Structure 1
Amino acid sequence: MFEFILLTLVALGLAVFLTRPKKRPRKKPSRSRQRKHDATTGGAQDPSGILQAAQIDARPLFGSDERRVLCALLDWERQHPDAYMVLRKVALSDMFRLSNTGSRSAWDSARTCFDTRHVDFLIVDADGWPVLAIDYHETGHYERGAGRRDEVKALIFKQAGVTLTQIDKHTALPRFLDDIDAMLTTRLEGLA
């Protein structure tokens, strides 16, 4: 089982790497930006100096409740060979392309919404297109002011035409997996 999870994580990394849009070349930072950078890095130009001063520790990728959901989704994926793939912790900026249709400041603000958000689980079709995103709300999710962030995320998914659903540790997984089948069947019927 561990090998399968490890293989899935490697496949996720490869899929994200291969589907990332090419980045635009960055402009050379202005002197004022360079001074801000120098102030935040203590004048060090070499990131390795910054990292050597920091303490970096490994941490678990998911808790026991989230692991339970992942295992259920991977079992569901095995029942749908060659049709769908379950990915974990996918950034919205990897899923969606944001086009600049307004001012630069509005685009920068929208870009921030994308860069700072992810979904816990994403189901993609055989061609790699996102079809269903699942947000897992851990204990204490709403104690950290997540309501507004959830609203923004829901708006992004609605505009992109991708279904977003939310679950928590009280969700009955067998029924939820049936609901996934129903949502995807409805989606396929809409495409036909």
Structure 2
Amino acid sequence: MMALLALLLSGAASGAEARRHHRRGTHRPAHHRTAPVTRPTPSVPVSVPVAATASLPIVGAITPAMMRGGLVAALLSVVGAAAGWFHSHRDRRRLLLADREWRRRVAELETSLTAERSRAAALWVERDAARQTLTEWEHRREQAQANSVQDTENQLRFIGGTRLHPKPLLNDGEGRQFWACLDFVRGRGMKVCPQVNMGEFIGTEWGDHSGRAFRSFNSKRVDLLICGEDWRPLIAVEHQGKGHFQGDAEDRDRVKRLALDRAGIGLVETYDEDHRGAVLAALEQELARILDDRADRADRADRGGSGAPRR
């Protein structure tokens, strides 16, 4: 490509030289040329300096071809310099673009690294919290195992490390009601049992919630239980003394009432101000109701029906 450009520039220089000679008249066709005019030579001799004479051969040696070659060389130098500048500018632009891309990538990596560091710090905090929670759970589990009354060794350890003493089965108010119940059952073949666990005289039939129902009342007790000759429960007596209504006493009483009613067992609630006659009258009334309910249920069972006891 450089050679072609040099050839074009050389042709352009030759054309310019031909036009210049044409204007001066040095380049004319043969039929237009005229004979040279002979001018008389002056008789006065012309003296030429030695320095100028020495330079005449050099000036005469500069031909149009040499001038065209110098022009071409100059143009080629300019073109080469321009090509070098273009290549250097292109390389510099590539370097600038690469530098910008590198800086952008570095900024993205720094942002990503900052986010990852924040996430790592959060994970470290979560790990420390999880370890602390696990340590607390393990400590609680060890304490629960050490204090569990389900373990026989713990039971023996608890009992062995505690001073035990006998205490009255009934308090004063419950004792008075116990003697009233004894008067009530005297001559009827009935029995009076104090402080009986409800799971000992109430059972559950098969059902979806039978196990849960049994656990709901199994740990609860009645103060007195009047049983028939066959030891079947008839009436439960609950004495509501001054210290009865504490904590969740109301909730416990609600569970007891429902369990006794569903089992067909009577309930008489007494208070400290009740005298013996009022207690005996309440027992008589409740016994009559329970016997009537059981008779009705027996009749319905004989007729093929079923029903819950009346309350």
TM-score normalised according to structure 2 size: 0.44
1:60 pairs with 2:168: yes
1:177 pairs with 2:284: no
Q: 1:143 to 1:37 in 2, by over 3 A?
A: closer
Alignment map for 1:43-82 (pairs within 5 Å):
45=153, 47-78=155-186, 80-82=187-189
1:159 pairs with 2:159: no
Cα distance, 1:130 vs. partner?
0.8
Q: 1:187 to 1:97 in 2, by over 3 A?
A: closer
- 1:124 match: 227
Alignment map for 1:72-111 (pairs within 5 Å):
72-78=180-186, 80-82=187-189, 84-102=190-208, 106-107=209-210, 109-111=212-214
Cα distance, 1:126 vs. partner?
1.0
Question: C-alpha distance in 2, partners of 1:165/1:140?
Answer: 18
- 1:7 match: none
Instruction: Report Cα offsets for 1:23-82 as digits up to 9, x if no partner.
Output: xxxxxxxxxxxx78742259883743332112222212122222111112112222x332
Q: Percent same amino acid among aligned pairs?
A: 22
Question: C-alpha distance in 2, partners of 1:107/1:186?
Answer: 27
**Structure 2 letter corresponding to 1:71:** W
Question: C-alpha distance in 1, partners of 2:281/2:260?
Answer: 22
Q: 1:179 to 1:54 in 2, by over 3 A?
A: same
Question: As a proportion of its length, which structure holds more helix?
Answer: 2
- 1:136 match: 239
Q: 1:36 to 1:107 in 2, by over 3 A?
A: farther
Question: C-alpha distance in 2, partners of 1:110/1:189?
Answer: 26
Unmatched tracts of structure 2, length 5 or more: 1-141, 297-311
Q: 1:185 to 1:53 in 2, by over 3 A?
A: same
Point out which structure has higher relative CO (alpha carbons under 8 A, 6+ apart). Answer: 1
RMSD: 2.8
TM-score normalised according to structure 1 size: 0.68
- SS at the partner of 1:164? strand
Cα distance, 1:92 vs. partner?
0.6
Question: C-alpha distance in 2, partners of 1:89/1:47?
Answer: 23
Q: 1:110 to 1:139 in 2, by over 3 A?
A: same
Unmatched tracts of structure 1, length 5 or more: 1-34
- SS at the partner of 1:141? coil
Cα distance, 1:174 vs. partner?
0.8
Question: C-alpha distance in 2, partners of 1:120/1:138?
Answer: 11
8 Å CA contact 1:131–1:163 kept in 2: the answer is yes
Cα distance, 1:135 vs. partner?
0.6
Question: C-alpha distance in 2, partners of 1:68/1:112?
Answer: 31
Question: C-alpha distance in 1, partners of 2:147/2:272?
Answer: 40
Q: 1:61 to 1:101 in 2, by over 3 A?
A: same
Q: 1:46 to 1:94 in 2, by over 3 A?
A: same
- 2:66 match: none
**Structure 1 letter corresponding to 2:250:** G
Q: 1:48 to 1:133 in 2, by over 3 A?
A: same
Cα distance, 1:107 vs. partner?
4.9
Larger Rg: 2
Question: As a proportion of its length, which structure holds more strand?
Answer: 1
